[in-house]
Amino acid sequence: MLVLPPLSLYIHYPWCVKKCPYCDFNSHEQRTENDTAYIQAVLADLKNQLHWVQGREIQTIFIGGGTPSLCSIEAMEVLFVGLRKTLDFADDIEITLEANPGASDREKFSALKKLGVNRLSIGVQSFNDGYLQNLGRIHSSQQAIETLKQAQVVGFDNINIDLMFGFEGQSIDECLYDVKQAIALSPAHISFYQLTVEPNTFFAKHPPKLSQENAWEMQEQGQLLLEQAGFIQYEVSAFSQRPAKHNLNYWQFGDYLGIGAGAHGKITTEGKILRTLQSKSPKDFTQNNQNKITAVKQLSFEFMLNALRLKAGFESDLFTQRTGQSIPTIQQQLNKAQALGLLELNDKRIQPSEKGFNFLNDLQVIFL
């Protein structure tokens, strides 16, 4: 039987100073509305979706983009006033905002903290100025360091650093330098992931020569450095002294409202699970504000696609609570994955083996 999971909120802010060549997120360089007009449309989107909430508390909020730290404080104030009037916040709510060096400063961080933001995710990507330039980033390595320090000075103690590896020409030593520099800044969380060429990006049309031959060694040695520094890998690319509650809700197949241009949502209601999707165009979103709603059909696969990303796996009961299906319905696939050495099973927990975690696609596809 389906059990209502925790409920989160994702808010999309679609604008950036510059579109990065590797980025396949819904981001745009040119604003078509002012911030306040866009935020008012976001709140209208939330109002249209309130029937999904069913009196449930919001456990986490994530404001992503784009570059939400570009948004004016005046518009952010409108947003938070509207959110608090409309929703019930959990007492220990986690509120994350994505920020980029070059689009953030101490004054902005201080104002955001007063509004209730208590976690930052800062897109550093590298501490090498040459690679930053190749990635189309607008900041320098020194700006990245200063941005982290400014956030800490105003009182943010829960900060994630996004860090990439596998750039064209990158050596293993250069990759490990980035990891060491990130550790030295004492964030609570580091997202460490390989640069990949995604469809419909500038890099897809003009592909760089990525450091594929060294990527596995970069990943292994980088992970070792992180673990030695006390950063525990709890998800494929997430290392933390304090896991992100919002991310955990995604991986554990929790619910989330998605509001804003191009935002995705997942909602459990009336014995079924629905996906919502907003128009990607900020202009269309502001003018029309119509969500596309579809039912999730491959529940067991979608659950496994998320939950198997967690290194510790999940309790067996969670599968039934989040999908409404019993373990015996996937027993054949579980047995196959176990026989291949990709999965570890006991009465209470299902967990990727070390081999399964390293070859996650091979494990997940068994449930398709």
Pairing of strands 349-352, 343-345: antiparallel
Note whether 61 and 189 are same-domain residues: yes
* Residue the block writes with tokens 């290392």: 239
Note whether 233 and 314 are same-domain residues: no
Q: Which of 206, 228, 249 is the last residue of a domain?
A: 249
Note whether 304 and 213 are same-domain residues: no
- pLDDT value for 37: 92
- pLDDT value for 210: 79
Q: Give the model confidence (pLDDT) of 146-184 as tens digits.
A: 999 999 999 999 999 999 999 989 999 999 999 999 999
User: pLDDT band for position 212 (50/70/90)?
Assistant: confident
The DSSP letter of residue 139 is S
Note whether 342 and 196 are same-domain residues: no
Q: Give the model confidence (pLDDT) of 97-149 as tens digits.
A: 999 998 888 999 999 999 999 999 999 999 999 999 999 999 999 999 999 99
Q: Does some domain include residue 52?
A: yes
- pLDDT value for 249: 97
Counted domains in the chain: 2
CATH code at 171? 3.20.20.70
Note whether 316 and 209 are same-domain residues: no
Q: Give the model confidence (pLDDT) of 262-313 as tens digits.
A: 999 999 988 789 999 999 999 889 888 778 999 998 999 999 999 999 999 9
Peptide bond into 66 cis (omega under 30): yes
Cβ contacts of residue 144 below 8 Å, gap of 6+?
A: 101, 122, 124, 127
Pairing of strands 58-65, 7-13: parallel
Closest CA to 120 of 179, 161, 59, 72: 161
Residue/partner pairs of 327-332 with CB below 8 Å, 24 or more apart:
329/300, 330/300, 330/367
Closest CA to 263 of 87, 38, 94: 38
Residue type, 116: G
> Beta partners for 9?
61, 257
Q: Does some domain include residue 1?
A: no
- What pTM was estimated for this model as a whole? 0.95
Q: Which of 224, 249, 274 is the last residue of a domain?
A: 249
- pLDDT value for 271: 79
Note whether 97 and 227 are same-domain residues: yes
pLDDT at 22 over 90: no
- pLDDT value for 261: 95
CB 256, CB 7: distance < 8 Å: yes
User: pLDDT band for position 353 (50/70/90)?
Assistant: very high
Entry field: residues in the chain: 368
Determine which of 16-25, 187-196, 318-327 has the lowest per-residue pLDDT on average.
16-25
- pLDDT value for 33: 67
Q: Which of 214, 229, 249 is the last residue of a domain?
A: 249
Note whether 224 and 350 are same-domain residues: no
Note whether 194 and 50 are same-domain residues: yes
Note whether 148 and 219 are same-domain residues: yes
* Structural domain harbouring 333: 300-368
Note whether 205 and 322 are same-domain residues: no
Q: Does some domain include residue 346?
A: yes
The DSSP letter of residue 103 is S
- pLDDT value for 207: 87
Q: Does some domain include residue 276?
A: no
Q: Does some domain include residue 267?
A: no
Closest CA to 25 of 207, 263, 251: 263
Note whether 202 and 317 are same-domain residues: no
| Rounded CA separation 94/62 (Å) | 8
- pLDDT value for 32: 62
CATH code at 321? 1.10.10.10
